Amino acid sequence: MTDNQTMSNGLFISFEGIDGAGKSTHIEGLTETFQQQGRRVTLTREPGGTPLAETLRGLVLNQAMDPLTEALLIFAARRDHLQQVIEPALARGDVVLCDRFTDATFAYQGGGRGFDLQVLQQLEQWVQLQDGKVRQPDLTLWFALDPAIAAQRLAGARVPDRFESQPLAFFEQVHAGYAARAEQAPHRFITIDASQTRHQVWQQLTRALIQRGKLSIVVPIPKAFQSPAP
């Protein structure tokens, strides 16, 4: 891909991993790096990213509900987010950096909660249909981490939500859910070893993006890294 094509095409990158895998600083670092490369960045998250979807997020993260209700609310939030934010941003050529997307639904609701994967697939096809194709991220950076290490990192960090308060076995299933999705879409998934230091993780992901022609400039130590390592 030439620089010109890179500049004019929208690019959709999602960030995935179990709670405690350490995505946040790297998402901020990549925002800075893409901006330095002259790209406009839309930074967003799921569930959420629009006023309606943020309202649904509050319900999903804090209120008890049955698994189908949970899945429907998450996909309803995703529909609004796609229509209001993601599709318009991609159409104007932005880099869309999205903290979690549908792989999280397969990992958390499918893997963690054991919810029917075929129903999730059906919802994915309805909700993400765009110009006759199912919208997926161009790339997914999966911060893969042993759930026991993630639990240690999270311990005492903040008041846990409905997912963060789940036992280790839940996160082992979530991890397996991500691994299954990565296996099904190897062209899209970049697996990052999130057990390494923050700087090593940064190197892994920027190298992967350079290799795929998505980054030309790399900020060696982004501003986001000035805060203490979590």
Q: Which residues contribute to the site for ligand TYD (CB under 6 A)?
A: 19, 46-47, 61, 74, 99-100, 104-105, 108-109, 163-164
49/65 Cα distance (integer angstroms)? 22
Minimum Å distance from CB 46 to ligand TYD?
A: 4
Is the CB of 10 or the CB of 47 nearer to ligand TYD? 47
Tell me the C-alpha to C-alpha distance, in Å, between residue 108 and each of 5, 71, 99, 201, 221: 35, 10, 14, 23, 32
Is 39 or 45 the residue whose CB approaches ligand TYD more closely?
45
What SS3 state is found at 99? Answer: strand
Q: Which is nearer to ligand TYD, 93 or 163 (CB)?
A: 163
Closer CB to ligand TYD, 61 or 208, in the complex: 61
Question: Cβ of residue 38: shortest distance to ligand TYD, in angstroms?
Answer: 28
Single out the residue of 135, 133, 130 nearest to residue 102, CA to CA. 135
Of the pair 82, 104, the CB lying nearest ligand TYD is at: 104
Please tell me the distance from the alpha carbon of residue 125 to that of residue 135, in angstroms, as a whole number.
Answer: 9
Do 18 and 148 touch, CB atoms closer than 8 A? no
How far is Cα 103 from Cα 75, in angstroms, rounded to an integer? 12
For the bound state, the minimum distance from the C-beta of residue 169 to ligand TYD, rounded and expressed in Å, comes to: 15
As a whole number of angstroms, the distance between CA 85 and CA 50 comes to 7
Which of residues 60 and 215 has its CB atom nearest to ligand TYD in the complex? 60
Question: Shortest CA distance to 124 belongs to which of 66, 52, 202, 46?
Answer: 46
Smallest gap, in angstroms, from Cβ of residue 209 to ligand TYD? 21
**In angstroms, what is the minimal distance from the CB of 84 to ligand TYD?**
16
CB burial class (10 A; 0-12, 13-18, 19+) of residue 59? middle
Q: Phi and psi of 133, rounded to 5°? A: -125, 155
- Closest contact distance (angstroms) between CB of 77 and ligand TYD is 8
